[in-house]
Amino acid sequence: MASPNSSLKILEVCKVAPPPSSHKSSFPLTFFDLLWLRLHPVERLFFFPVPHLNSSSFFHSIVPKLKRSLSLVLYHFLPLAGNIVWPSDDSLKPIAQYSPGDAVSLTIAVSDSDMTNLIDNSPREAVQCRPFIPNLESRDSSASALSLQITLFPNSGFCIGMSSHHACLDGKSSSMFIKAWAYLCRMTEADDAESESSSSGLLPPELQPFLDREVILDPRGLAVAYINGWSGLDPTGQTQKNRPSLKILSDMFPLIVDDSARAIFELKRGDLNKIKERVLQKWEINHKATEEEREDSSSSLSKPPTLSAFVLTASYVLVCIAKAIERTCENKTRKLLFCFPADCRSRLEPPIPENYFGNCVMPNIIETREEDFTDDGDGVVIVAKKIHTKIRKIQRERGALEGAETLFCRYSLESGEEIEIQYIAVAGSNRFGVYETDFGWGRPEKVEITSVDKNITMALAESKDGNGGVEVGLVLKKNVMDRFASLFQTEMESI
C-alpha cells in the first residue's frame, strides 16, 4: 500500500539463510503459540537517522553488514528462518520447522518520503508507514515465520521493517531477536568469513534464546482447544466446518488506516508520578469493589504501596480513549473490554527461563462500564484498581492461566451480543528496551508497532531518552484522534 504523497522503489528482494552448518530442526508449537496461530502478523519499524547517508554508503556498507549479521543471528534463532507447517495430513498440530534451504525474505528499498516527518510523534496519516512493512506469506499448508525490509531515506537514514508470525514469538522474544541481530551487526564485518564457524559463541548469555519447547506443559489440553477454535473460523471470523489451515485471517483483522491518524504520545516520569499520587490518594474513597476483589477477600480494598508504570499508563490512556470514542460517536459504547497480555515465564509451575524463545503470554480481559469513565476525575482511579486487581490475581498461584480454556468461547459469545462492544488491546511493553537496539549506527530515533492499525490497540515502549517515561502509540479515526489528543493533555491538567 503506497502513500499518496511519496513513492517507494523496490531495489532487491532476496533470501537470507542461516550458515550452511545449520541443521534441520523442528519445534513443537505450544498452546501459548497456538493461541495466536492465525492472528495478523506483528509489525515493527525501527528508524535510524544517519545524516548525509548516500546510496553508495548504504549499499556498500550498511546493507552488506545487515545481511551478514542476519545470516549469523538466524543460526541461533532457527525457528525464524523456517516456516510453520502441518507435518502430515493426519497431524493434530502444526510445528515450526527449519530445513536447509529455508531463508528469510529481505526487501531492500528506497523511499523519497520525508524521514523527519515519519519520526515525528504528532498525528499523521496512518497509511504513511505501511510501505515500509514487508509482507508475510501465509497459506493453508504453511506460513513464513519472519519477513524483513530495509528502506533507505537518502541523506536522512534508514529504517528496518519487521513482520513476524505471532505463533512463533511474543514481544519479549521479538525484542531479544532484534537486539541479538544488532549485537552481531556491531561485532561482525560484512566480509568476515571466519565468523561463520564460530557463530555459536558470539551472543552474550542474555541474548541466547532458550529453544526447548518441552518445558511448556499442557495438562489441560489447551493446544487442541485452540487449534479447534481457529479451525472453526473462516477468513471473516465466522464459524465454518472444521478444516486445518495456517492462513492468516486478514479479513477478520482488517486495516483501519482509511481516514485514520497514527501518533505516539508520551507520559513522562513526572506524569506517571502525578497519576500514581492521585490514584493512591483516592483508592479507598467511594469506590465499589471490583469483581476480582469480591471473589478474593485477601485483596479487599487495601491500597498497594505503589503501582507499576503499566497500570498507570494503561488506566490513563484507556480513560482518554473511552471518552474520545464516547464524545465523537452518536452511539455510546455500552461495553468496553480491555485486553492485555501477561508474561507467564515466571508464573508457570515450574517457572521457565527468562530467555525462553516463543510465546509465553496469556491475554487477560477486564470489562468496564460507562459509569467508569466519569468526568469527576475518578475514572482513572476506578480503571487502575481493576487492572491492578487483575494483575494481583494473576500473580497468585496458578492465576496466570485462569480462564485459558474458555478464551475462544468467550470471544464468540461476546461477538454475538446485540450491544455495542469495543475491544482495546495492548501491544509491546515499556520493559522491552527497544530503544537500546543499536546496529552500529546509533540507537533508533523512533520505534513503532505498526500492526496496531488492525484494531484499537495501545503500543507501549519505554521513553527513548531513558527518563523512566512510557511511549504510547495509537491509530484512531481522525475525529477520535483529535479528541484523544486534547483529552490526553487536559485530563493530566485536572489530576
- Mean pLDDT by groups of 10 residues along the chain of 495 residues: 66 97 95 96 98 96 97 97 87 92 98 97 96 96 97 98 98 98 86 46 91 94 92 59 78 88 98 96 72 53 90 97 80 78 92 97 89 75 94 79 80 58 94 98 98 96 96 97 97 89
pLDDT at 197: 41
CA distance linking residue 290 with residue 312, whole number of Å: 17
CA distance linking residue 402 with residue 491, whole number of Å: 34
CA 239 to mean position of chain CA atoms = 26
* Portions of the chain given CATH number 3.30.559.10: 8-231, 260-494
pLDDT at 292: 57
Query: Are residues 261 and 268 in contact, defined by beta-carbon separation less than 8 angstroms?
Result: no
166 is catalytic: yes
Q: Which residues of 118-148 are buried (b: 16+ CB within 10 A; e: fewer)?
A: bbeeebebbbbbbbbbbebebeeebbbbbbb
CA dihedral of residues 219, 221, 223, 229 (deg, nearest 10): -150
Query: Are residues 129 and 153 in contact, defined by beta-carbon separation less than 8 angstroms?
Result: no
pLDDT at 127: 96
Query: Are residues 482 and 320 in contact, defined by beta-carbon separation less than 8 angstroms?
Result: no
C-alpha cell at 328: 465523537
Query: Are residues 469 and 268 in contact, defined by beta-carbon separation less than 8 angstroms?
Result: yes
pLDDT at 85: 96
Residue located via cell numbers 511511549? 471
pLDDT at 403: 84
Q: Considering only CA atoms, which of 12, 38, 251, 245 is closest in space to residue 134?
A: 12
Q: Assign 3-class secondary structure to 317-366.
A: HHHHHHHHHHHHCCCCCCEEEEEEEEECCCCCCCCCCCCECCCCEEEEEE
Q: Which of 192, 296, 438, 482 is catalytic?
A: 438
CA distance linking residue 70 with residue 19, whole number of Å: 10
For residue 263, what are the contacts with CB-CB under 8 A and spacing of at least 6?
Answer: 121, 122, 123, 124, 473, 474, 481, 485
Q: Considering only CA atoms, which of 425, 479, 483, 430 is closest in space to residue 454?
A: 425
Q: Considering only CA atoms, which of 47, 56, 51 is closest in space to residue 155?
A: 51
* CATH architecture assigned to 8-231: 2-Layer Sandwich (3.30)
Strands 335-343 and 421-428: parallel
CA distance linking residue 87 with residue 78, whole number of Å: 17
Q: What is the largest CA-CA distance in the chain?
A: 68
Which pTM value belongs to this model?
0.92
pLDDT at 13: 98
260-494 classified as CATH 3.40.50.2300: no
Q: Which of 40, 76, 166, 388 is catalytic?
A: 166
Peptide bond into 94 cis (omega under 30): no
Q: Any bridge partners for residue 48, and if so which?
A: 158
